[in-house]
Amino acid sequence: MADSHAIVMSGPDQGKGLSRITRCFNGRLLYACGLIALSQVNFGMDQGAFNGTQAMDAFIRKFGAPNERTGQYELETYYLSLLNSLTYIGFAFGLVTGNYISRRWGRKKCMFIMCAWAIVGAIVLLTSHTKQQMLAGRIVAYVYIGMELALVPVLQSELTPAPLGQLIQSLICRATSELEGDKSWRIPLGLFFIIPTIIACGVWFVDESPRWLLIKGREEEARASLQALRQGKFSQAQIDAELEEQKASLAMDAEKGNLKEIFSGTNLKRTLIVIGVNVFLQLTGQNFSTVYGTTFIKSIGTINPFTMNSVNIAVNITMVLVTQLLTDITGRVPLMAAGAALQTAVLFTMGGLGTVTPETTAVGTGIVAMLTVFGAGFQLGWAPLSHVVAAEIPTTRLRDATYALGSVFNIAIQFAVSFSIPYLLRDEYAGLRSKVGFIFGSTAFCAFLFSLFCIPECGGKTLEEIDELFVERVPIRKFGKTRPRHMPQQADDVKKGGESVQVEQA
């Protein structure tokens, strides 16, 4: 009986954290991963820039209008809503085109095109003088973000968390917020040129993906690329074995599942888990904090919003690092449940503080503090772990289709939430202000229940083991303590409709 395939190629003891890098990464691989990881920083810079600039007085005077009731300039509700929701049109377009370009012309060329597009978006944003041009620039810039999501491997996201870029931009926004005139917001947006330019120049020194070269039938080039990426850290036999594993994996992937299959048998449960994870990732109010946080803090008027935004992002980065350390110890489900529970408590507290009249300085400070703790709860569980869960739950044949369906729900919910928040906050509409915490607190509580009862604990298990546990219909809450019965001696299984079909070894 053939041995089961391992997900990670055999090699030196990989360890955890920094030891994994020193044991498995040679110089070329470290350069490649580091360069690609910069795009994650650029994503964070985009979020950090617009979270801050849309609260700057100069930006508001440029693209806003006087409020008839207060006489002060503000971004009109419809415009603030569109500014932060229409971006997902560009995001969806980038997701599709990035995937197509990556498969058709290769990872390196896709990375270069992605960066060139980002520079175009930066030019449109930096030269904006009208509301329409700023909206167009936002949409164009988010095409880059969508292409990045289609291209950048999950490993890169783990090595360089996106909040790093948010911290950089938040500090820049804090420094420029007191400058006179349009330079207060043009300087942060102008920095969008830097990282795409670095990546566009450096990507030509990155080895092309061996897997893509194999897909195109260029086996010798794939062997040379893999050799360059593994040399000095793995033996020749291990490198050859990995190449053969990739070829075998591609042969199995040649028969992709269809949309109907993801709703058949035990695959239906897996599909619903992936959809649920994507939905609750957005429904717990993270856009309220990351997109509108600075604007909301400014409306309260108790603390400098730009300083507080920098503090919030620094706390978020700390929590991401804590989560990375705890995941191997506690597993994913406890962290996701704990994060959702903390978000629930904080959001209901925020909503409760919003009912206090009159709103004193102490109450306003308490509301701002709750926003900080909310971010910590989000980064403790759902922010770093939801994408991992969504990627590992589907069976191999149906992973692309299932993950794509989950992404559709993710984008749709992000659009709806981002569009709705200004109308929920502003006095001339719902006027909920911090009482919006009651809405997001309710969905966060649903996310807490979903974490406990609907997400299986898959930490420490290979994708094949996860497949078998679903096929054996192991209850969700017993996943973590159950070891597959057939893994030590099983042959390769091809999962169709959630059922196991034995395939003899050639």
Residue-level pLDDT at 493 = 42
Q: Which helix (H) or strand (E) holds 29?
A: helix 27-53
Does 13-206 match 257-506 in CATH topology?
yes
Burial class of residue 260, CB neighbours in 10 A (0-12, 13-18, 19+):
exposed
The fold of the 13-206 domain, in CATH, is: Growth Hormone; Chain: A; (1.20.1250)
Long-range contacts of 300-304 (CB under 8 A, 24+ apart): 300/359, 300/364, 300/367, 300/368, 300/434, 301/364, 302/361, 302/364, 302/365, 302/368, 303/364, 303/365, 303/368, 304/174
Extents of the domains making up the chain: 13-206, 257-506
Q: CATH number of the domain at 257-506, please? A: 1.20.1250.20
Residue 214 has pLDDT above 90, yes or no: no
In which band, very low, low, confident or very high, does the pLDDT at 24 lie, cut at 50, 70 and 90? low
For range 318-343, the mean pLDDT: 88
pTM of the model: 0.76
Q: What is the pLDDT of residues 385-415, one digit of tens each?
A: 888 888 788 887 777 778 778 888 988 999 9
Neighbours of 218 (CB within 10 A): 15
Mean pLDDT of the chain: 79
**Rounded distance, CA 344 to CA 270, Å?**
26
Query: What's the Cα-to-Cα distance from 87 to each of 46, 92, 111, 117, rounded to whole Å?
Result: 11, 9, 20, 15
* CA–CA distance, 469 with 458 (Å, rounded to integer): 10
The CA–CA distances, whole Å, from 56 to 52, 130, 133, 134, 176 equal 7, 16, 18, 15, 9
- Rg of the chain (C-alpha set): 24
